[in-house]
Structure 1
Amino acid sequence: MIQPDVIGCDIAKAHLDLFDSGRGRHERIDNTPAAIAVWLATLADRVVHVVFEATGRYDGKLRAALEAADYPYSRVNPARARDFAKALGLLAKTDAIDARLLARMGQSLPLPTHAPDDPVRRSLGRLHARRDQLVAMRQQERTRLHEAEGDERDSLESHLAWLNAEIGRIETICRERLRTDETLRSQEQRLRSIPGVGPVAALTLITLMPELGSRSSKAIAALAGLAPFNVDSGMSRGQRHIRGGRKRIRDALYMAALTASRMPSAFKPYADRMARQGKPFKVVITALARKLLTIANALARDKTIYSKA
C-alpha cells in the first residue's frame, strides 16, 4: 500500500500556505480557482492527502478543486490543530509554521477523509447561515425599538418589516429546495416526525449534521457537543460536563427539547421524571436534546419515521 504524501495547508482569505511533506518545501499561492488549479497540476501522478483547518467560506475554493480532481482531504477542527501544536511544544504561530504543523498532524494521526459535499446541501447551508444573520439583526432591532422615538422608530419599524420579509423569502427558498430534492425531502419528513422538531431545527440538522445515520449515538452526540465527559482523577470524581461540538446544532436542539418537554403525549413524562429527581432545568433540557438527537440519528440510519413505543 502506497503511503500518500501529506500536504498541510494554512488558509487565509487571500492566499494559501502549503507545506509538501513529500518534497519538504513550503510555497504560497493565491486563494483563487486559477492558482489552485495550477498548483494541483503539479501534483499529477502523485498520491497525496491534503490537510487543512475548517475556515468557513475561505476553504470553499480549495475543497471544490480537490473534489473535482478527486484528491482526498481532511478538514480538521482548528482547536484540535492548536492542541496538537501545544502537545508538540510549538508556541510560535505563523502561516508557514501552521502549514508544516498540519502536514505533521496528517502524518501522525488517523484523520478521517472528508466526504464531498452535496451541492444542494451546501447551498442550503449558506441560506441557513444567512437566515441566522438576519434573525440576529432582527432581535437587535427589536431591542432598540423599545427606546426609540420619532424618526428613529420609523426607521427601525421599516427595517424590521424588511427583515421579516427577507427571512420569510429565504425560508421559502429553503422549503422549495428541500421539496425538490428527494433525499433531503425524505430526511426532513423523518426529522419532522419527531415531537418538538420544527422546520428550523430540521433544516439545521440537515445542513450542519450530514453525519446523521452514519455514526454511533455516542459519536453523534459528541459531534453536537451533547456528550457528557468524565472529570475524574485519582480519588476525585467530578461532575460530567458537555463541551465542544457544534453550537448551532445544540441551539436548535435546545429549542426543540423545550417544545418537546411541554408536549404531554411526547417527552413531558421524561422531563418531569428528571425534574422530580432534583435535576436542574438545564440538565433536563440537555438530556432531552441528546435524546432527540439520538432518535434523529436512528431514524436516519433506519430510514423510518418516529413512532412512540
Structure 2
Amino acid sequence: MNKGSYREMFSHIGIDVSKEKLDVGWLRDTASNKVKTKVFKNQKQSFEVLAAWVLKNTKAEPQHILITLEATGVYHENLAYFLHQQGFKVMVANPGKAKQYARAIGLVHKTDKLDALMLAHYGMAQSNAGQLTLWEPEAPEVRHLKGLLRRLDALEKDHQRELNRLEACEQTDTSPRVLESINNVLDTLQKEISALEQEIDDHIDRHPPLRKNRRLLSSIKGVGPVVSREMTCLFAGRVFVSAKQVAAYLGLIPRQVESGKFKGCTRLSKSGPARLRAKLYMAAVVAGTHNLDIKDQKQRLLKQGKNKMQALGAAMRKLVQICYGVIKHQQEYRPQASMQVSA
C-alpha cells in the first residue's frame, strides 16, 4: 500500500461488495447531495460493464476516479485487481474504521446502497484530509502463497471435522462401513495436507525474500512451521509501520470491558483474521514455556494479579511484536532476558 497526500480532485465511487452482487454509489454532486447508484453481479464478466458505467457517468479518466471498497473476506479481491489494472485509484477500507466513520456521520439505516455511498464519502474524507492509503496489488508469489495457505486451512478444518465424526461414531454402535469411510477420507485428507505443506515450503524456498523472512521468524522460540508460514505471508502481503499496528490488525489489543458486575476487565478486541489468531494462541502457549522473554513476562503478569488468559493474551501480543522486530531489522531473534542475565 502507498500512503501519501492525495488532495487532488477525484470523482468518488463507493462499492459495497457481497458474494453475489456489487452495489455501486457515485457522489455526483456533494454540494446538492446528488448521487447515482447501480447494482452489478459480482462476477468477472460484469467488471468491464461496471467500469464502463463509471467512466460514462463521471466523464473522468480512471486516474481521477477514487473507488473505495470495504475488505470483505476474499470477495473484493478480484474486483480490486481488475480496477487497479484499469488505472483507477483504489482504496480498500478497513471494515472497523468504515463502521466508525458511518457512526460519526450519523448513518442510522443500513442498506447495501447506503453502505456504498458511505464508502464513497469515507474515501473523499480520507482524500481531503491527506490520509488516503491507496491499495496496491500483492506480488504474484505472495498472492499464490496466500491461496495455498487458504486451501491448507480449509483441508485442516475438513480433517478436524472427520476426526470429530470418528470420535462420535466410536462411542456408538456404528456400522463398520461408516468407520471405514471416515478413515478413508481421513487418509486422503492427510495425504493432501502433507503434499500442500511441502508445496508451500518449496514455494517459499524458491523466493529469496520469503525464504529469508521465514528463516528469521523460525529463530524465535515458539514460532514453528505453521506460524512461520503464516507470518511470512502476512508481512509479505501487508505493510505495517509499527508492532502495535500488527497487533491491532490481528485483534490482539486489549480493550476495557465494564458491564454489570464486571468492572475494569480487559479482553482482546478479536478483530481481524481469527484463523491466524488461533494459530498464534497455540504458539503463545509453547512460547510461555520455551521463550525466555515471554516466559518472564508471563510470570511477571501473574505476580501482578493478572489471570492466565490475560497473561496468554499478552504473550500472543509479545510474540507478534517479536515477529515484527526480526522482520523490520532483518536480524535473527536474540532474547532480551538472556542478554540481561549475561550482563
TM-score by length of 2: 0.80
What's 2:227 paired with? 201
Q: Is the aligned partner of 1:62 residue 2:107?
A: no
Q: Is the aligned partner of 1:104 residue 2:131?
A: no
What's the CA shift string for 1:114-146, capped at 9, x where partnerless?
A: 232122222222221221222122222112212
8 Å contact from structure 2 (residues 267, 310) kept in 1: no
8 Å contact from structure 2 (residues 63, 88) kept in 1: no
Given the superposition, is the C-alpha separation of residues 126 and 239 from structure 1 closer, same or farther in structure 2, using an over 3 Å criterion? same
Offset of 1:238 from its aligned partner?
2.5
What's the CA shift string for 1:14-44, capped at 9, x where partnerless?
A: 4322122246422233433343235435253
What's 2:40 paired with? 29
How many equivalent residue pairs?
306
3-state SS, counterpart of residue 133 of structure 1: helix
Q: Percent identity?
A: 29
- Following superposition of structure 1 onto structure 2, how do residues 196-275 of structure 1 map, counting pairs within 5 Å? 196-210=222-236, 214-230=240-256, 238-243=264-269, 244-263=271-290, 267-275=294-302
Runs of 5+ consecutive residues of structure 1 not aligned to the other structure = none
Q: Is the aligned partner of 1:5 residue 2:26?
A: no
Offset of 1:223 from its aligned partner?
1.2
8 Å contact from structure 2 (residues 142, 237) kept in 1: no
Task: Please give the root-mean-square deviation of Cα atoms over the aligned residues, in Å.
Answer: 2.6
Q: Is the aligned partner of 1:143 residue 2:150?
A: no
What's the CA shift string for 1:275-303, capped at 9, x where partnerless?
A: 34432211121111111111111111111
Given the superposition, is the C-alpha separation of residues 85 and 257 from structure 1 closer, same or farther in structure 2, using an over 3 Å criterion? same
What's 1:74 paired with? 91
What's 2:150 paired with? 129
Q: Is the aligned partner of 1:189 residue 2:189?
A: no
Distance 1:63 1:289 in 2: 32
What's 1:299 paired with? 326
Per mean C-alpha deviation after superposition, the further-off stretch among 293-302 and 68-77 is 68-77
1:48 to 65, 68, 73: 65
Per mean C-alpha deviation after superposition, the further-off stretch among 221-230 and 168-177 is 221-230
Distance 1:213 1:28 in 2: 32
In the alignment, residue 100 of structure 1 is paired with which amino acid?
L
What's the CA shift string for 1:220-259, capped at 9, x where partnerless?
A: 2211111223569xxx983333202332232222111111
What's the CA shift string for 1:163-191, capped at 9, x where partnerless?
A: 11111111111111101111111111111
Per mean C-alpha deviation after superposition, the further-off stretch among 19-28 and 5-14 is 19-28
8 Å contact from structure 1 (residues 226, 245) kept in 2: no
Offset of 1:105 from its aligned partner?
1.7
TM-score by length of 1: 0.88
Runs of at least 4 residues off by over 4 Å: 209-213
Runs of 5+ consecutive residues of structure 2 not aligned to the other structure = 1-6, 30-34
8 Å contact from structure 2 (residues 284, 319) kept in 1: yes
